[in-house]
Amino acid sequence: MPELPEVEVSRMGITPHLVGQKIQSLTFRTPKLRWPIPAELQQLQGQTIRAISRRAKYLLIETDQGCAIVHLGMSGSLRVLDAALPAGKHDHVDLTLSNGKVLRYNDPRRFGAWLWCDVDKQHTVFEKLGPEPLTDDFSVQTFSDRAKGKKVAIKQFIMDNHVVVGVGNIYANESLFTARIHPQRSAGKVKVAEWQVLVAEIKAVLAKAITQGGTTLKDFAQADGKPGYFAQELQVYGKAGQPCPICGEPIEELKIGQRNTFFCGNCQR
Protein backbone atom coordinates (compact mmCIF):
# COMPACT_ATOMS: atom_id res chain seq x y z
CA MET A 1 0.00 0.00 0.00
CA PRO A 2 1.32 3.48 -0.80
CA GLU A 3 2.32 5.11 2.46
CA LEU A 4 2.41 8.80 3.41
CA PRO A 5 5.65 9.62 1.54
CA GLU A 6 4.32 8.00 -1.65
CA VAL A 7 1.08 9.99 -1.38
CA GLU A 8 2.99 13.21 -0.73
CA VAL A 9 5.22 12.52 -3.74
CA SER A 10 2.08 12.02 -5.83
CA ARG A 11 0.73 15.35 -4.55
CA MET A 12 3.93 17.15 -5.48
CA GLY A 13 4.03 15.42 -8.85
CA ILE A 14 0.53 16.35 -10.00
CA THR A 15 0.29 19.84 -8.46
CA PRO A 16 2.16 21.80 -11.18
CA HIS A 17 -0.06 20.24 -13.86
CA LEU A 18 -3.39 20.79 -12.09
CA VAL A 19 -3.39 24.02 -10.09
CA GLY A 20 -4.94 26.86 -12.07
CA GLN A 21 -6.50 24.55 -14.65
CA LYS A 22 -10.22 24.32 -15.30
CA ILE A 23 -11.86 20.91 -15.05
CA GLN A 24 -13.58 20.32 -18.37
CA SER A 25 -15.09 16.93 -17.60
CA LEU A 26 -15.02 13.95 -15.25
CA THR A 27 -15.30 10.38 -16.45
CA PHE A 28 -16.02 7.49 -14.08
CA ARG A 29 -15.75 4.06 -15.70
CA THR A 30 -16.92 2.20 -12.61
CA PRO A 31 -19.70 3.14 -10.19
CA LYS A 32 -17.82 1.85 -7.15
CA LEU A 33 -14.27 1.63 -5.87
CA ARG A 34 -13.89 1.00 -2.14
CA TRP A 35 -17.11 2.99 -1.77
CA PRO A 36 -19.67 4.13 -4.35
CA ILE A 37 -18.48 7.16 -6.33
CA PRO A 38 -20.76 10.07 -5.34
CA ALA A 39 -22.66 11.86 -8.09
CA GLU A 40 -21.79 15.18 -6.40
CA LEU A 41 -18.29 14.95 -7.89
CA GLN A 42 -19.77 16.13 -11.20
CA GLN A 43 -20.08 19.55 -9.54
CA LEU A 44 -16.36 19.93 -10.21
CA GLN A 45 -17.00 20.27 -13.94
CA GLY A 46 -16.21 23.83 -15.00
CA GLN A 47 -14.39 24.59 -11.74
CA THR A 48 -10.81 25.84 -11.49
CA ILE A 49 -8.43 23.83 -9.32
CA ARG A 50 -7.14 26.08 -6.54
CA ALA A 51 -4.85 23.68 -4.68
CA ILE A 52 -3.84 20.06 -4.19
CA SER A 53 -3.46 19.28 -0.50
CA ARG A 54 -3.01 16.16 1.61
CA ARG A 55 -4.47 14.92 4.89
CA ALA A 56 -2.96 11.63 6.04
CA LYS A 57 -3.06 9.41 2.93
CA TYR A 58 -5.89 11.35 1.30
CA LEU A 59 -5.33 13.85 -1.52
CA LEU A 60 -7.70 16.80 -1.82
CA ILE A 61 -8.36 18.42 -5.21
CA GLU A 62 -9.70 21.80 -4.07
CA THR A 63 -12.02 24.17 -5.97
CA ASP A 64 -14.34 27.01 -4.95
CA GLN A 65 -17.30 24.61 -5.29
CA GLY A 66 -15.88 21.85 -3.11
CA CYS A 67 -13.20 19.21 -3.33
CA ALA A 68 -12.58 15.69 -4.51
CA ILE A 69 -10.98 13.45 -1.88
CA VAL A 70 -8.79 10.76 -3.41
CA HIS A 71 -7.34 7.72 -1.65
CA LEU A 72 -4.95 5.43 -3.53
CA GLY A 73 -5.93 2.31 -1.58
CA MET A 74 -3.74 -0.76 -2.07
CA SER A 75 -2.74 -0.27 -5.68
CA GLY A 76 -4.00 3.08 -6.92
CA SER A 77 -1.92 5.63 -8.79
CA LEU A 78 -2.37 8.99 -10.48
CA ARG A 79 -0.84 10.05 -13.80
CA VAL A 80 -0.97 13.29 -15.77
CA LEU A 81 -1.27 12.30 -19.44
CA ASP A 82 -2.33 13.70 -22.79
CA ALA A 83 -6.12 13.66 -22.89
CA ALA A 84 -6.08 11.85 -26.25
CA LEU A 85 -4.29 8.81 -24.79
CA PRO A 86 -6.79 5.89 -24.63
CA ALA A 87 -7.69 4.57 -21.18
CA GLY A 88 -6.38 1.17 -20.11
CA LYS A 89 -8.10 -1.74 -18.40
CA HIS A 90 -7.78 -0.45 -14.84
CA ASP A 91 -8.11 3.28 -15.57
CA HIS A 92 -11.28 4.04 -13.63
CA VAL A 93 -11.35 7.85 -13.39
CA ASP A 94 -10.40 10.67 -15.79
CA LEU A 95 -10.36 14.31 -14.79
CA THR A 96 -9.91 16.21 -18.07
CA LEU A 97 -8.23 19.62 -17.85
CA SER A 98 -8.28 22.79 -19.92
CA ASN A 99 -4.58 22.38 -20.80
CA GLY A 100 -5.25 19.25 -22.87
CA LYS A 101 -4.10 16.93 -20.11
CA VAL A 102 -5.99 14.37 -18.08
CA LEU A 103 -5.49 13.28 -14.48
CA ARG A 104 -6.01 9.54 -14.75
CA TYR A 105 -6.64 7.26 -11.79
CA ASN A 106 -5.57 3.64 -12.19
CA ASP A 107 -6.46 1.03 -9.57
CA PRO A 108 -6.28 -2.71 -10.39
CA ARG A 109 -7.66 -3.79 -7.00
CA ARG A 110 -10.30 -1.04 -6.67
CA PHE A 111 -9.54 -0.49 -2.98
CA GLY A 112 -9.05 3.24 -3.44
CA ALA A 113 -11.69 5.96 -3.27
CA TRP A 114 -13.01 9.14 -4.85
CA LEU A 115 -15.21 11.10 -2.45
CA TRP A 116 -16.89 14.51 -2.38
CA CYS A 117 -16.69 17.24 0.27
CA ASP A 118 -18.57 20.53 0.31
CA VAL A 119 -16.75 23.82 0.90
CA ASP A 120 -16.04 24.58 4.59
CA LYS A 121 -17.14 21.13 5.72
CA GLN A 122 -15.09 18.27 7.14
CA HIS A 123 -15.60 14.83 5.68
CA THR A 124 -16.22 11.99 8.10
CA VAL A 125 -13.03 10.20 6.96
CA PHE A 126 -11.01 12.94 8.70
CA GLU A 127 -12.88 13.07 12.01
CA LYS A 128 -10.70 10.80 14.15
CA LEU A 129 -7.32 11.31 12.53
CA GLY A 130 -4.32 12.22 14.66
CA PRO A 131 -1.78 14.96 13.88
CA GLU A 132 0.41 15.04 10.79
CA PRO A 133 3.86 13.65 11.64
CA LEU A 134 5.79 16.42 9.86
CA THR A 135 4.08 19.26 11.74
CA ASP A 136 4.61 20.81 15.16
CA ASP A 137 1.35 19.19 16.29
CA PHE A 138 3.25 15.91 16.40
CA SER A 139 5.28 16.54 19.54
CA VAL A 140 7.13 14.56 22.18
CA GLN A 141 4.79 15.81 24.90
CA THR A 142 1.62 14.83 23.05
CA PHE A 143 3.00 11.43 22.11
CA SER A 144 4.36 10.53 25.56
CA ASP A 145 1.17 11.68 27.29
CA ARG A 146 -1.03 9.48 25.06
CA ALA A 147 1.27 6.49 25.65
CA LYS A 148 1.04 6.56 29.45
CA GLY A 149 -0.21 3.24 30.78
CA LYS A 150 -0.59 1.73 27.29
CA LYS A 151 0.35 -1.95 27.06
CA VAL A 152 0.10 -2.11 23.28
CA ALA A 153 3.37 -2.70 21.41
CA ILE A 154 5.13 0.53 20.49
CA LYS A 155 5.06 -0.42 16.80
CA GLN A 156 1.27 -0.75 16.81
CA PHE A 157 0.98 2.47 18.81
CA ILE A 158 2.88 4.63 16.33
CA MET A 159 0.96 3.05 13.42
CA ASP A 160 -2.40 4.00 14.97
CA ASN A 161 -3.91 6.81 12.86
CA HIS A 162 -5.74 8.10 15.94
CA VAL A 163 -2.34 8.78 17.52
CA VAL A 164 -0.46 10.08 14.47
CA VAL A 165 -1.28 9.68 10.79
CA GLY A 166 0.84 8.16 8.08
CA VAL A 167 3.44 6.11 9.96
CA GLY A 168 2.89 2.96 7.91
CA ASN A 169 4.57 -0.38 8.32
CA ILE A 170 7.75 0.31 6.37
CA TYR A 171 8.51 3.59 8.13
CA ALA A 172 7.53 2.29 11.58
CA ASN A 173 10.12 -0.48 11.18
CA GLU A 174 12.78 1.95 10.02
CA SER A 175 12.07 4.60 12.68
CA LEU A 176 12.15 2.12 15.55
CA PHE A 177 15.43 0.73 14.28
CA THR A 178 17.13 4.12 14.05
CA ALA A 179 15.73 5.02 17.49
CA ARG A 180 17.02 1.68 18.88
CA ILE A 181 13.63 0.74 20.37
CA HIS A 182 12.39 -2.84 20.24
CA PRO A 183 9.08 -2.98 18.34
CA GLN A 184 7.44 -5.26 20.94
CA ARG A 185 8.09 -2.99 23.89
CA SER A 186 4.93 -1.62 25.52
CA ALA A 187 4.24 1.98 24.49
CA GLY A 188 3.73 2.93 28.13
CA LYS A 189 7.25 1.81 29.01
CA VAL A 190 9.00 4.09 26.53
CA LYS A 191 10.76 6.87 28.43
CA VAL A 192 10.42 10.56 27.56
CA ALA A 193 14.05 10.70 26.43
CA GLU A 194 13.37 7.79 24.08
CA TRP A 195 10.24 9.52 22.75
CA GLN A 196 12.40 12.53 21.92
CA VAL A 197 14.61 10.31 19.77
CA LEU A 198 11.72 8.38 18.22
CA VAL A 199 9.69 11.46 17.27
CA ALA A 200 12.77 12.99 15.65
CA GLU A 201 13.51 9.74 13.77
CA ILE A 202 9.93 9.39 12.49
CA LYS A 203 10.10 12.93 11.13
CA ALA A 204 13.54 12.33 9.61
CA VAL A 205 12.70 8.99 7.99
CA LEU A 206 9.47 10.31 6.44
CA ALA A 207 11.09 13.54 5.27
CA LYS A 208 13.96 11.61 3.68
CA ALA A 209 11.55 9.28 1.92
CA ILE A 210 9.61 12.24 0.50
CA THR A 211 12.81 13.94 -0.65
CA GLN A 212 14.01 10.78 -2.37
CA GLY A 213 10.74 10.11 -4.14
CA GLY A 214 8.92 7.59 -1.99
CA THR A 215 9.61 3.93 -1.43
CA THR A 216 9.53 1.73 -4.52
CA LEU A 217 6.68 -0.75 -4.16
CA LYS A 218 5.49 -3.01 -6.95
CA ASP A 219 2.27 -1.02 -7.34
CA PHE A 220 3.71 2.50 -7.02
CA ALA A 221 5.50 4.94 -9.26
CA GLN A 222 5.67 8.70 -9.19
CA ALA A 223 3.21 10.90 -11.07
CA ASP A 224 5.69 11.18 -13.95
CA GLY A 225 5.99 7.39 -14.15
CA LYS A 226 9.47 7.20 -12.58
CA PRO A 227 9.75 4.85 -9.59
CA GLY A 228 10.87 6.09 -6.21
CA TYR A 229 14.17 4.82 -4.87
CA PHE A 230 14.14 5.14 -1.09
CA ALA A 231 13.73 1.35 -0.84
CA GLN A 232 17.39 1.04 -1.79
CA GLU A 233 18.29 2.64 1.54
CA LEU A 234 15.97 0.73 3.86
CA GLN A 235 18.00 -0.63 6.77
CA VAL A 236 15.80 -3.42 8.18
CA TYR A 237 12.48 -3.67 6.34
CA GLY A 238 12.33 -6.85 4.24
CA LYS A 239 15.85 -7.87 5.27
CA ALA A 240 15.26 -10.79 7.61
CA GLY A 241 18.40 -12.89 7.99
CA GLN A 242 20.67 -10.24 6.55
CA PRO A 243 23.32 -8.64 8.79
CA CYS A 244 22.33 -5.61 10.83
CA PRO A 245 24.03 -2.54 9.32
CA ILE A 246 25.24 -1.55 12.81
CA CYS A 247 26.27 -4.70 14.68
CA GLY A 248 26.23 -7.42 12.02
CA GLU A 249 23.78 -9.69 13.85
CA PRO A 250 21.00 -11.18 11.65
CA ILE A 251 17.88 -9.06 11.24
CA GLU A 252 14.92 -10.83 12.87
CA GLU A 253 11.33 -11.01 11.71
CA LEU A 254 8.02 -11.52 13.50
CA LYS A 255 4.42 -10.39 13.20
CA ILE A 256 3.00 -7.61 15.34
CA GLY A 257 -0.65 -6.79 14.76
CA GLN A 258 -0.62 -9.07 11.69
CA ARG A 259 2.10 -6.93 10.08
CA ASN A 260 5.60 -8.14 9.20
CA THR A 261 8.08 -6.60 11.58
CA PHE A 262 11.85 -6.43 11.11
CA PHE A 263 14.34 -5.51 13.81
CA CYS A 264 17.74 -6.15 15.34
CA GLY A 265 17.40 -7.96 18.64
CA ASN A 266 20.88 -6.80 19.63
CA CYS A 267 20.58 -3.08 18.84
CA GLN A 268 16.93 -2.53 19.73
CA ARG A 269 15.88 -2.80 23.37
Give the residue numbers of the binding site for DNA: 90, 109, 150
Identify whether 259 is a catalytic site residue. yes
Q: What sign has the CA pseudo-torsion 89, 92, 96, 97?
A: negative
Cα–Cα distances in angstroms (integers) from residue 207 to residues 69, 140, 224, in the given order: 23, 17, 20
**Most distant CA atoms of the chain, gap in Å:** 60
Catalytic residue among 2, 5, 133, 183: 2
User: Catalytic: which of 3, 6, 62, 174?
Assistant: 3
Separation between Cα atoms, residue 8 and residue 211, nearest integer Å: 10
From 5, 6, 11, 57, the catalytic residue = 57
DSSP H stretches of helix in 36-183: 140-147, 154-158, 169-179
Do 71 and 111 meet the contact criterion of CB atoms below 8 Å apart? no
Count CB neighbours of 14 within 10 A.
24
Catalytic residue among 55, 185, 208, 259: 259
Closest Cα partner for 142 from 120, 122, 157?
157
Identify whether 108 is a catalytic site residue: no
Catalytic amino acids? 2-3, 57, 259
